[in-house]
Amino acid sequence: MAEKVMTMAERVVQLLGDLGVQRLFGMPGGGSNADLIEAAAKLGIPFSLAHSETASAMMAIAQAEISGKPGACIATLGPGVASIMNGVAQAFLDRVPLIVITDCHPESLRHMQHQSLCQHNLFAPVTKFSAEVRATNVEDVLSRAVQSLLAPPPGPVHLDISGEVTSSMSEGTTACAQAAHLPSSDCDVYRKVQQILGQMHRPVFFVGLAARTQEISTGVQQHCESFGIPALVTYKAKGVAPDHHRWFGGLLTNGALEREVLERADGFIAVGLDPVELLPKVWNYSQPVVSISAWHIDQQQVPIAAEIVGDTVELLQKITAFLPKRSDWSQSEVALLLEAQRAAMRPANIDGKLTPHRVVEVVAGVYGGSRISVDAGAHMFPVMCLWPAKEPCGVLISNGLSTMAFALPAAIGACLLNPSQPIVVFTGDGGLLMCLGELRTAARENLPLRIIVFDDSVLSLIKIKQIKRQYRTNGVTIGAVNWADLASSMGLLGRTATNEDELLTCLRETAACAGTVLIAAKISEETYPETLRALRG
Which whole-number Å values give the CA distances from 115 to 78, 105, 357, 415, in the listed order? 5, 9, 47, 34
Q: Mean pLDDT across the chain, nearest whole number?
A: 95
pLDDT of residue 173: 60
- Separation between Cα atoms, residue 108 and residue 265, nearest integer Å: 64
Give me the CATH code for the 6-170 domain, please.
3.40.50.970
What's the rounded mean pLDDT across residues 377-398?
98
* HEC profile of 501-521: HHHHHHHHHCCCCCCCEEEEE
| Residue 431 reports pLDDT greater than 80 | yes
Give the β-pairing of 6-7 and 169-170. Answer: antiparallel
For residue 200, which of 269, 261, 271, 272 has the smallest C-alpha distance? 269
Query: How large is the average pLDDT for residues 336-343?
Result: 98
CA–CA dist 159, 237 (Å, integer)? 30
Q: What is the pTM of this model?
A: 0.95
DSSP symbol at 347: P
**422 preceded by cis ω (within 30°)?**
no
Give 229-280 pLDDT, tens digit per residue.
999 999 999 999 999 999 999 999 999 999 999 999 999 999 999 999 999 9
Span 115-141, average pLDDT: 92
CATH code 3.40.50.970 region(s) in the chain: 6-170, 345-536
Q: Where in the chain is the domain with CATH 3.40.50.1220?
A: 187-337
Coil/strand/helix, residue 477: strand
Of 66, 78, 152, 155, which Cα lies nearest the Cα of 112?
A: 78
Is the separation of the CB atoms in 422 and 367 below 8 Å?
Answer: yes
Which top CATH class is 345-536?
Answer: alpha beta
Domain 187-337 sits in CATH at 3.40.50.1220
User: Which helix H or strand E contains 62, and what residues bound it?
Assistant: helix 53-67
Query: Is 318 strand, coil or helix?
Result: helix
> Rounded to whole angstroms, how far apart are CA atoms 173 and 143?
11
Per-residue burial over 478-506, b if 16 or more Cβ lie within 10 Å, else e, is eeebebbebbeebebbbbbbeebebbeeb
Phi and psi angles of residue 49, each rounded to the nearest 5 degrees, phi first: -80, 130
Give me the numbers of helices (H) and strands (E) for the chain, helices first please.
21, 20
Residue 166 reports pLDDT greater than 50: yes
* CA-CA-CA-CA dihedral for 449, 455, 461, 463, to nearest 10: 160
d(CA 128, CA 95): 10
**Is the separation of the CB atoms in 149 and 19 below 8 Å?**
yes
